Amino acid sequence: MHSNELPKVKFTLTRFREGYDLADVDAFLERLRDTLSQWESGRPGVILSAEVVEKRFAVTKFRNGYDQDQVDNFLDEATITLAGYEKNQTPGY
């Protein structure tokens, strides 16, 4: 996973079932993009893999939200990438 990939990330919208709040997820993705950019330039990022694992988003119902499974799967990938940086490795992407 690379910071320049994050603006291209799209999740399916939900409406009549629970989803994650759009603004909540988008704000976290922006922080994640900044964090990856920091790691890529050789500086420690502000978000660690443990924060991604523990991240909880506000839930929506009867209004647009992001598909929870898709967001959770994406966060799993982000966790692996950040853990690689934290171990002073360059994860494959």
Q: 11 by DSSP, 3-state: which?
A: coil
Please report the sign of the dihedral spanned by the C-alpha atoms of residue 55, residue 61, residue 65, residue 70. positive
Q: What is the pLDDT of residue 93?
A: 47
Q: What is the pLDDT of residue 34?
A: 94
Instruction: Give the tens place of pLDDT for each residue, 60-87.
Output: 988 999 999 999 999 999 999 999 999 8
pLDDT band at residue 45 under the 50/70/90 scheme: confident
Cβ contact 29:63 at 8 Å: no
